[in-house]
């Protein structure tokens, strides 16, 4: 429904190099399917960013636990997504992230305003709005580092 908007990051490429025993998405006949992107070359923040969002919010789909009370206390209202950047509306978050930690160019699929929100909502409906309920859990001692992308079958 979203035409792969959550699958391909900036500079995404696939290749079939010789299998050197490192990670490959698929290995066959001495070769491996590899995926790369230019994201690893982007600047990284000095301190971790905190993004408060929830899975069934189509506004949040542009950008685990639902920390609504803390986000409301920080921002003063129940509005998501909410970004806290200790280093320094929705579309502004995306533009800020690409300007600060990317190449400055927001992919077209994330700049279509209402159309982006509508297609994100349709994608959520197709999955039965999964991820929208809070389940009791323990907070981890260390911040989680998430490596994944929206279209990965291993992420959802």
pLDDT single digits (tens) 125-141: 877 777 667 677 888 88
Report pLDDT for 65: 44
Q: Which residue range is the domain that position 34 belongs to?
A: 11-41
Determine, yes or no, domain membership for 142.
Answer: no
Cβ proximity of 57 and 80 under 8 Å: yes
Report pLDDT for 64: 39
* Count of domains observed in the chain: 2
Q: Which residues of the chain have pLDDT under 50?
A: 1, 63-66
Mark whether 57 and 85 lie in a shared domain.
Answer: yes
Task: Give the C-alpha separation, 42 to 100, whole Å.
Answer: 9
Mark whether 21 and 83 lie in a shared domain.
Answer: no
Mark whether 91 and 122 lie in a shared domain.
Answer: yes
Mark whether 85 and 109 lie in a shared domain.
Answer: yes
Mark whether 29 and 85 lie in a shared domain.
Answer: no
CB count in 10 Å sphere of residue 101: 15
Mark whether 84 and 110 lie in a shared domain.
Answer: yes
Mark whether 51 and 24 lie in a shared domain.
Answer: no
Task: Give the C-alpha separation, 19 to 116, whole Å.
Answer: 39
Mark whether 25 and 97 lie in a shared domain.
Answer: no
Residue with token string 């279509």 = 112
Mark whether 36 and 65 lie in a shared domain.
Answer: no
Mark whether 55 and 106 lie in a shared domain.
Answer: yes
Determine, yes or no, domain membership for 146.
Answer: no
62-to-48, 52, 112 alpha-carbon distances in Å: 19, 13, 11
Name the DSSP class of 29.
T
* Sheet with 13-15, side-by-side order of all strands: 13-15, 31-36, 26-28
Mark whether 25 and 68 lie in a shared domain.
Answer: no
Mark whether 49 and 122 lie in a shared domain.
Answer: yes
Task: Give the C-alpha separation, 42 to 23, whole Å.
Answer: 22
User: Chain centroid to CA 110: how far?
Assistant: 12
Determine, yes or no, domain membership for 140.
Answer: no
Q: What is the dihedral of CA 150, 128, 93, 74, to 10 degrees?
A: -120
**Radius of gyration of the chain from its Cα atoms, rounded to whole angstroms:** 17
Report pLDDT for 47: 84
């Amino acid at each position: 429904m979203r035409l792969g908007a959550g699958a391909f990051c900036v500079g995404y490429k696939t290749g079939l190099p010789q299998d050197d025993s490192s990670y490959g998405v698929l290995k066959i006949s001495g070769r491996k399917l590899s995926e790369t992107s230019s994201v690893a070359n982007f600047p990284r923040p000095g301190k971790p960013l905190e993004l408060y969002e929830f899975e069934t919010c189509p506004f949040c789909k542009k950008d685990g636990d639902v920390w609504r009370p803390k986000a409301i206390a920080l921002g003063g209202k129940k509005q998501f997504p909410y970004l806290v950047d200790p280093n320094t509306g929705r579309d502004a978050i995306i533009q800020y992230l690409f300007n600060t930690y990317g190449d400055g160019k927001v992919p077209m699929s994330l700049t279509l305003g209402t159309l982006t929100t509508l297609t994100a909502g349709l994608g959520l409906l197709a999955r039965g709005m999964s991820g929208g309920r809070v389940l009791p859990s323990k907070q981890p001692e260390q911040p989680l580092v998430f490596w994944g992308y929206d279209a990965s079958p291993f992420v959802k």
